Structure 1
C-alpha cells in the first residue's frame, strides 16, 4: 500500500540568534530555504507546504517559481507550534485524505530526500503513528505523524513544537537514526562551520 504523505517546511522564525534571515543564507549556490524546498520536491512527499512569517516579504520571491504552497503564520512570535498548526491546516485544505505529514525545518541543510523517503518507508512498514529522527541523544524533526495525530498537532502551543508529541507517544513511535538532522543553522558560528564543511567536501 502506498501512503499519501504531505510535508511542512517550517521557516517562519525571526532568526534572532543569527541576526539576519537565515532562510536566505547561501548554501551550495542557493538560499537555505530554496535548498530545503528543492530537497522536499525531490522526495515522495506531496503536497509541500512552506510556512513563512517574520521575513515573508523577503523570502516569498525566492520560492515563487516552485510548485509549493506558501502560507503565512501571522502569529509566528508564539513559537514553532503556531507554524505547525498553520501547516497542518494548509495540508488538510489541499488534501483532506492525507495518511500522514512530515514536519521539517528550513535550517537542516544536510537532510536530503532520502531522509524523508526513509521516514515514509518506515511508516509503511511499521504503521507506527510517529516516525521521528534520533540524533545527538535527542529526538526531533524531521518527523512523520499519522493523520490520527493531526488534531493534536493543531492543538500544540508554545515554542516546543512537535517534540512534546514525540515524547508523549513513546509506546507507539519509531525512532530512526538520522545523524544529518543534528546540523541546524541557528548562529553565525553554525553557518561558518557549515561553509567550512562545504569547502572540505569540495562543494
Structure 2
C-alpha cells in the first residue's frame, strides 16, 4: 500500500497557506507527514503546488517523495492524478493507495491503522472515512478503481466515484474528520479546540 498526501492548493479562502497553519506546535502538513511516516507502507508521496518554496522551508518531508503539480489551479483532481500515476510507475503491482489531505488536524496513526485494517480485511474497492454521515478522506482505494480515479476532473475529489455509481465501498467512522481548515472561521474554531485540549 502507498500513501499519497495532497497538499497543492493555494488556500484561497483562507488567504494564507493552510498547510502551514499551526496546531499543537506543529504545522498541519507536518502533522500529516508525521502520521503517514509512522505507518509501515511501501511508498510515501506528497504533492505540492502553490506556495511550494515557502512550504518546503518550513516542513520536513522525511521519507516522502516530493511531486510538484504545476497545474494545481485546475483543482484537486490534478494532484490526485499526478500522485497516482507516479505510484503506478514506481510500483506497477501496488494494491491500494491511502489518500490524505494536509488540513485535518485530528488524523492519527490509530485512525489510519483502523482504516487500513478494515480495508485489507474486507472485499471493498474503497474505504472512506465518515463524518456527519458524509464519506470523505482519509480514504483507501484498490487498484481496480485507479482508472476511475484518473478520470476525475477539476476541483473534485474521490467522493465523485460514489456520485458516478460506485457501490462497493465501506464507511469507517471518524467524527473528528469534519474538522478541516478552509476559512478564517475554521481557523478560529481550531484555535479554540487547541486551548480546550
TM-score, with normalisation over the residues of structure 1?
Answer: 0.91
Residue matched to 2:3: 7
CA distance in 2, matches of 1:131, 1:65: 26
CA distance in 1, matches of 2:88, 2:59: 21
CA 1:65–1:156 in 2, change beyond 3 Å: closer, same or farther? closer
What do you get for the CA RMSD once the two structures are aligned?
A: 1.5
Deviation, structure 1 residue 128: 0.5
1:148 has 2:148 as partner: no
Deviation, structure 1 residue 143: 0.8
Residue matched to 1:198: 194
CA 1:177–1:93 in 2, change beyond 3 Å: closer, same or farther? same
CA distance in 2, matches of 1:177, 1:98: 26
Deviation, structure 1 residue 62: 3.2
1:123 has 2:119 as partner: yes
Deviations 1:82-136, CA, capped at 9 Å, x for gaps: 1100110122233222110011110011011122211211112112011011111
| Equivalent pair of 1:12/1:54 in contact (CA under 8 Å) | yes
1:111 has 2:107 as partner: yes
Q: How does 1:2-151 map to 2 (within 5 A)?
A: 5-64=1-60, 66-151=62-147
Q: Could you say what secondary structure the match of 2:89 adopts?
A: helix
Unaligned runs of 5+ in 1: none
Match of 1:178 among 170, 174, 178: 174
CA 1:127–1:44 in 2, change beyond 3 Å: closer, same or farther? farther
Deviations 1:137-181, CA, capped at 9 Å, x for gaps: 211111100011112212210112111013435431111111121
Residue matched to 1:163: 159
CA distance in 1, matches of 2:110, 2:2: 15
| Equivalent pair of 2:33/2:61 in contact (CA under 8 Å) | no
Unaligned runs of 5+ in 2: none
Structure 1 residue runs of 4 or more that deviate by more than 4 Å after TM superposition: none
Q: Could you say what secondary structure the match of 1:126 adopts?
A: coil
TM-score, with normalisation over the residues of structure 2?
Answer: 0.94
CA distance in 1, matches of 2:118, 2:61: 32
Could you tell which deviates more after superposition, 59-68 or 172-181?
59-68
Paired residues in the alignment total: 197
